[in-house]
Structure 1
Amino acid sequence: MSTMKAVRFHCYGDSGVLVHEEAERPVPGPGQVLVRVAATSFNPVDATIRAGRLTEVFPVELPHVPGLDVAGTVAAFGPGVEGPRVGEAVVAFLPLDADGAAAEYALAPAASLAAAPRTLDLADAAALPAVGLTAWQALFEHAGLRAGQSVLVNGAGGAVGGYAVQLAAAAGARVTATAGARSADRVRGYGAERVAGYLDHTAPLADAVGGPFDAVLNLVATTPEESAALTGLVADGGIAVSATGPLPEDPARGVRAAALFTRSDAATGPRSVWCGAGAGGAHRAGGRGPVTGGGSSAEGDAEGRAAAPDAAPGRRTRRRARVPPPPPFGAPSVLTVRSCVRSPVGARPCARCRSQGWSGGGRRPRR
């Protein structure tokens, strides 16, 4: 039996349930591809799964490996798989009810794989799948956004919002965005024509952001009153798309509403999700650089640490947990994680490290 290093949880809970341990290396079955992981990244849904709040909808088998985003290279593939070659660099958003990519190897449905963008370091590309698919599906599948139309991205300072601004601008849409003061310049650089601060729902929203808009993309938790106000910014016949819960429709004006839940179908999405929109590629304002996932990287953080996750969604930038390849010559391989060096791999960390939120033991075995 081949083994690998992995971050797993054996019971539901906060980041303290994550342990760094030996696990059996998965073997690809029909329609599956084995990916040698270069990196994974944390999304709020990872914490939701780990906390056990999705068990009725997406039950997982314990122990479970988190990490829905993956970037890596094809190591092997199962029967019936055509297309990917061993060694090819790929990215994917993995199914919510299967083991993830916080490990040295991960299984991915062949249909979920897409070629990794060549404009990014492969490890950085792990920050793209979930945010890229979320932004694309919201704007172009649900909202049907076209060149020349107007869109409001409410909550553009986060990873999905930043990606949505770039994709919408690259598609020729007129973009208005809301973001905090620290994010405003960055969001403007992504291509937003107008950037407003956090919306004050005690005042008319149109005074702050203008409008009406052909589409409104909401990425912020809202009260029923705030949701209704956002729908009020949609032009007659337009659509309101929300990732945080449905916004109300307005049948009298022909305003539709859609609740967004991201599908893991990277391979069926347009290439522009990963490499830019349109033949020329999606660029930041002035054509300087490719579409990016936003947020900050956290090389060296454990998934559970980068996922410290007990923070409220929308107030954390995305961070990635890097998983390096095994060292040569049969040396003991370990994930690059923040873990307790006083405890063996797989054991709970000491009290001092637990107080800092670190993951399970990470003491290397002696040679």
Structure 2
Amino acid sequence: MKMKSARIHAFGEPSVIRHDEVPRPRPLAGEVLVRVAATSFNPTEAALRAGLLQGFLPVTLPYTPGWDVAGTVAEVGPDTEGFAIGDRVVGRLDGAGAAAEYVAAPGAVLVPAPTSVPLEHAAALPVAGLTAWQAVFEHGKVTAGQRVLVNGAGGGVGGFVTQLAKHAGAEVIATAGPRSTRVVLRHGADHVVDYTSTSLTAALDRPVDTVLNLVPLPPHDASALVSAVRPGGRIVSIATPVEPPAESGVSSLHMVARNDVTHLAALVELVDMGKLAFDISASRPLADLADVHRLSEAGRMRGKVVLIP
């Protein structure tokens, strides 16, 4: 049987993405076949498509993107326990492949999907949610009563970071552009700094305990982040590494999120408790994937975009 799949045939501009008819995969031992309800776009996928990550995350062409998957189990592979046909699941696929009508996924990376939101919206959760969870709790060690600066709160990861930091009991100061301010406030930010018109130095009345940095930074802006943190505080960055001078007394960590189904299940639980909301800025057909890449590279994307086969 055949299915439609978006595939990258060469590294380059978004036009290298093609939509092919390929054989539908069969699940191997330990896998299930997922009928994809949606995947979601992550900005790192644009860098991968351009060939910028081959030294860090090498892939073989042709390559099917789509790290996030939400869908229903269509077939259960041999020696795969805990799944039944029709189960609604969500997960992060480190080998990617969800930008297709079906994907064979390891059962070990899937958890039951949230029941309180449309299944296609759940595709926005795995990569961004896991990154946010580990930034806030594992590396940022955010606790009640702390002052936390979320730099880049208007993006897909930023929305989850803001909500999780607030859920931890922190006072949250968030940087965001005018297009994102209303959503960031709805996600629980106590204060929003418009980075297009106000400097952090002018906006902060006193230093924060923790900075969670989600955006690439030139050296000057990285220095401004260091000055925003109290001595003994910390910076966690998922983008540009920030290197504070020793005399600042500020520690810094550059993180890469890992796949962790325990964390993903905890995120799903928060969604179903009504304590974690999605910022879905658009639902687009998978055929629009190249256009979504172009929008991202032009800096014209807010929140998460889900793509429906």
- TM-score after normalising by structure 2: 0.90
Structure 2 CA distance for partners of 1:146 and 1:79, relative to 1, 3 Å: farther
Which 10-residue stretch deviates more, 151-160 or 310-319?
Answer: 310-319
| Distance in 2 separating the partners of 1:136 and 1:50 | 26
| Distance in 1 separating the partners of 2:8 and 2:264 | 34
Residue type of the partner of 2:130? L
Structure 2 CA distance for partners of 1:212 and 1:314, relative to 1, 3 Å: farther
Match of 2:23 in 1: 24
Q: Where do 1:279-298 residues align within 5 Å?
A: 281=273, 283=275, 290-292=276-278, 294-298=279-283
Match of 1:211 in 2: 206
Which 10-residue stretch deviates more, 247-256 or 58-67?
Answer: 247-256
| Distance in 1 separating the partners of 2:274 and 2:226 | 28
Contact 2:148–2:210, Cα closer than 8 Å, also in 1: yes
Structure 2 CA distance for partners of 1:5 and 1:143, relative to 1, 3 Å: same
Match of 2:229 among 199, 213, 234: 234
Structure 2 CA distance for partners of 1:81 and 1:235, relative to 1, 3 Å: farther
Match of 1:126 among 123, 126, 133: 123
1 or 2, which has the higher helix percentage?
Answer: 2
Contact 2:121–2:280, Cα closer than 8 Å, also in 1: no
Structure 2 gap ranges (5+): none
Q: CA deviation at 1:251?
A: 3.9
Residue type of the partner of 1:89? R
Q: CA deviation at 1:312?
A: 2.8
Match of 1:106 among 97, 103, 107: 103
- TM-score after normalising by structure 1: 0.77
Q: Where do 1:1-367 residues align within 5 Å?
A: 2-95=1-94, 98-198=95-195, 205-265=200-260, 267-269=261-263, 271-276=265-270, 281=273, 283=275, 290-292=276-278, 294-309=279-294, 311-312=296-297, 315-317=300-302, 318-323=304-309
Contact 1:34–1:74, Cα closer than 8 Å, also in 2: yes
Structure 1 SS opposite 2:285: coil
Structure 1 gap ranges (5+): 284-289, 324-367
Which 10-residue stretch deviates more, 147-156 or 104-113?
Answer: 104-113
| Distance in 2 separating the partners of 1:70 and 1:321 | 10
Structure 2 CA distance for partners of 1:140 and 1:314, relative to 1, 3 Å: farther
RMSD: 2.3
Structure 2 CA distance for partners of 1:255 and 1:84, relative to 1, 3 Å: farther
| Distance in 2 separating the partners of 1:130 and 1:313 | 22
Structure 1 moving runs of 4+ over 6 Å? none
Q: CA deviation at 1:254?
A: 4.0
| Distance in 2 separating the partners of 1:141 and 1:47 | 27
| Distance in 2 separating the partners of 1:167 and 1:27 | 37
Identity of aligned residues (%): 44
- Per-residue CA deviation, residues 177-229 of structure 1 (Å, 9 max, x unaligned), is 1111222122111111111110768x6x3431333222101122211221122
How many positions carry a matched residue from both structures?
308
Q: CA deviation at 1:313?
A: 7.3
Structure 2 CA distance for partners of 1:297 and 1:124, relative to 1, 3 Å: same
Structure 2 CA distance for partners of 1:113 and 1:254, relative to 1, 3 Å: farther
| Distance in 2 separating the partners of 1:86 and 1:227 | 49
1 or 2, which has the higher strand percentage?
Answer: 2
Q: CA deviation at 1:138?
A: 0.8
Structure 2 CA distance for partners of 1:23 and 1:174, relative to 1, 3 Å: same
Contact 2:151–2:215, Cα closer than 8 Å, also in 1: yes
Q: CA deviation at 1:156?
A: 0.9
